[in-house]
A and B are shown apart, each in its own frame.
Chain A
């Protein structure tokens, strides 16, 4: 593996990790504050991607598409919270799993009904097509760099929101003691709706950004959702910092593993067998990583409780 290829893969891993972070941050907030497991988070990712692809298709503007993705995902999130999710806070996790699984079915088939089974495509904005030359003469797609930059900005904004603003104080207070902040006069149901919509908007943004490098199709959200779960298990529930570190670990393991494993097996196998075994092992790497974290720290790297 040459150095240039390695750096490219590290950047790809960062880009993938940042996308996972946008998903995992919302999930972990919703779990930390409301104690709710939301399987339908992947559907909100899909809603974002479809809204962006549809609006960018009509208007020709990528920025309008992104705005539409944020708005549509946040609106879908708020609506779902008001209609269904708020009935589930007092229920056990089994009920939450089932109800949000039902929401996945409704969202997926609803989207298929509206947009059909064929994937949509979202074009990369003109300003960001083509590669950028990085120091050291490495060519790297500008759009992927932009995703990394946007993601890091949002991560910084989220840390600021949680640690410096009144809303952030309430969110942290909600994580620590729900009953108490309700007793202190905070409108807890409004806070829940806001947190849920915020998480949904982050998921929608992730969907829209990824929509320009992948096909926008029904069912695109759930594989990412499951990876976001792996991230949360590694990082620890309720911790934004854990979500960030976990996302980057998973992103880097996934992209570097798919290159490194076949190369590793090529040392003592013939080429095609090494490719096959290596890619099969690489597909399991992040789960092995998760298993190792579970053995070492069952509460996750930054989690407080199990």
Chain B
């Protein structure tokens, strides 16, 4: 077993142990923090597929995070006001059922990722960064200027959506749902890395010419990765909205894109558990530094600057060494 495998087990076990302990000593706030870590880590896992595996520096993942959130908000708000979403040509009702909401969040964010990816992957490098950032901002302004779903004020959902057989209002049960989805996404990600698709994608990152020479299209590989990546981040958005029982244009803002990227970087780009470590570190910092100073973003900025300039490879790289292991 490599050091990274042991570290991954520690991170995974830690994220499970902390809320269980908090449940025993009755600290619901700690459970909520751990739930937030699991959800944000899920968003990071999504981005990491594009960023770490595909080498696509997307600064627009807030678009998918927000779309997931609004998919939940729109469906649940129609359900709570008993008004159908659409009457003609076919009747679509709102819903408070998590699995249906997740499915819608996955579909909408995957479709958006397909459109954004098809346009932005025509370019590369710095163009790609600017274009994804711009499309993210487009959704931000759209959500502000579309008055039907709250506009600038966002949408509140009074009761958390339901999951068959579970009481989602109980913090530990909602944590279990989020943690299970995170574990599923990590498992999928691990499978993806070793699949022919993942290998081809990694090869397209290292040398697009060679991949083209063997008859594969880097554009298609990247587009597929971008869609998978966007869909996972969208699912995280739906869970995040459910955690807060609130969606607002903030979910679409460029800061959100930056923060999702920070989770991945703080943990370590291309590391399977990087986003989990990064999200846990971020939430801990937010909680500890935010308690010390109102201006904690300065310290976050300085830390990020130090990581980028001097500690490339992030937290996992620092502890487990520079070599990336995929086991």
Residues in A lying within 8 Å of B, measured CB to CB: 31, 35, 37, 84, 87, 93-95, 97-99, 101-106, 108-110, 112-113, 222-223, 226, 229-230, 232-233, 237, 276, 279-280, 282-284, 287, 290-291, 294-295, 298-299, 306
| Complex interface: stretch among B170-178, B234-242, B300-308 | B300-308
Asked whether A102 lies within 8 Å of B127 as measured between CB atoms, the reply is no
Asked whether A280 lies within 8 Å of B312 as measured between CB atoms, the reply is no
Asked if B141 CB lies within 8 Å of chain A CBs, one says: yes
**Chain A positions within 8 Å of B131 at CB level:** 229, 233, 290, 294
**Complex interface bits, B234-274 against A, C-beta within 8 A gives 1, otherwise 0:** 00000000000000000000100010011001000100000
Asked whether A99 lies within 8 Å of B308 as measured between CB atoms, the reply is yes
A261 → chain B, closest Cβ, in Å?
Answer: 10
Asked whether B141 lies within 8 Å of A284 as measured between CB atoms, the reply is yes
Known: A233-B130, A276-B147. A306 touches B123 (CB 8 A): yes
Q: What 9 A-B pairs are tightest by C-beta distance, nearest first?
A: A105-B301, A229-B130, A102-B304, A287-B138, A106-B301, A283-B141, A102-B305, A109-B297, A102-B301
Across the interface, name the chain A residue whose C-beta is closest to B258.
Answer: A101
Known: A233-B134, A283-B144. A93 touches B129 (CB 8 A): yes
Total A-B residue contacts, Cβ distance less than 8 Å? 125
**Chain A positions within 8 Å of B262 at CB level:** 98, 101
Asked whether A283 lies within 8 Å of B142 as measured between CB atoms, the reply is yes
**Chain A positions within 8 Å of B258 at CB level:** 101, 104
Q: List 15 additional contacts besides A94-B269, A104-B301, A283-B144; criterion CB under 8 Å.
A: A37-B126, A95-B312, A98-B308, A99-B304, A99-B308, A99-B309, A102-B304, A105-B304, A110-B295, A233-B130, A280-B146, A294-B122, A298-B127, A306-B122, A306-B124
* Complex alpha-carbon distance, A35 and B129, angstroms: 13
8 Å CB interface, B264-305 against A: 265, 269, 295-298, 300-302, 304-305
**Chain A positions within 8 Å of B301 at CB level:** 102-106, 109
* Complex alpha-carbon distance, A102 and B297, angstroms: 9
* Complex alpha-carbon distance, A84 and B302, angstroms: 11
- The size bracket of the interface on B is 35 or more
Asked if B217 CB lies within 8 Å of chain A CBs, one says: no
Known: A103-B301, A229-B134, A280-B146. A109 touches B265 (CB 8 A): no
* Complex alpha-carbon distance, A91 and B138, angstroms: 29
Asked whether A113 lies within 8 Å of B295 as measured between CB atoms, the reply is yes
8 Å CB interface, B119-152 against A: 119-120, 122-127, 129-131, 133-135, 137-138, 141-142, 144-148
* Complex alpha-carbon distance, A233 and B129, angstroms: 10
Asked whether B145 lies within 8 Å of A283 as measured between CB atoms, the reply is yes
Asked whether B269 lies within 8 Å of A109 as measured between CB atoms, the reply is no
**Chain B positions within 8 Å of A284 at CB level:** 138, 141-142
Residue from the set B127, B147, B262, B312 with the largest chain A CB neighbour count within 10 Å: B127
* Complex alpha-carbon distance, A262 and B289, angstroms: 46
Asked whether B125 lies within 8 Å of A93 as measured between CB atoms, the reply is yes
Across the interface, name the chain A residue whose C-beta is closest to B116.
Answer: A291
* Complex alpha-carbon distance, A106 and B261, angstroms: 17
Asked whether B304 lies within 8 Å of A93 as measured between CB atoms, the reply is no
Asked if B59 CB lies within 8 Å of chain A CBs, one says: yes
Asked whether B135 lies within 8 Å of A294 as measured between CB atoms, the reply is no
**Chain B positions within 8 Å of A109 at CB level:** 295-298, 301
Residues in B lying within 8 Å of A, measured CB to CB: 51, 57, 59, 119-120, 122-127, 129-131, 133-135, 137-138, 141-142, 144-148, 254, 258, 261-262, 265, 269, 295-298, 300-302, 304-305, 307-309, 312
Asked whether A232 lies within 8 Å of B123 as measured between CB atoms, the reply is no
Across the interface, name the chain A residue whose C-beta is closest to B120.
Answer: A294
Asked whether A226 lies within 8 Å of B133 as measured between CB atoms, the reply is yes
**Chain A positions within 8 Å of B308 at CB level:** 95, 98-99, 102
* Complex alpha-carbon distance, A230 and B136, angstroms: 12
Known: A95-B312, A280-B145, A294-B122. A229 touches B305 (CB 8 A): no
* Complex alpha-carbon distance, A229 and B307, angstroms: 26
* Complex alpha-carbon distance, A105 and B296, angstroms: 9
Could you list 6 A-B pairs, sorted by A, with CB under 8 Å? Answer: A94-B269, A95-B312, A101-B262, A108-B297, A287-B135, A290-B131
**Chain A positions within 8 Å of B122 at CB level:** 294-295, 298, 306
Asked whether B126 lies within 8 Å of A93 as measured between CB atoms, the reply is yes
Known: A112-B295, A226-B134, A283-B141. A97 touches B261 (CB 8 A): yes
B297 → chain A, closest Cβ, in Å?
Answer: 4
**Chain A positions within 8 Å of B147 at CB level:** 276
* Complex alpha-carbon distance, A112 and B131, angstroms: 29
Asked whether A84 lies within 8 Å of B305 as measured between CB atoms, the reply is yes
**Chain A positions within 8 Å of B59 at CB level:** 97
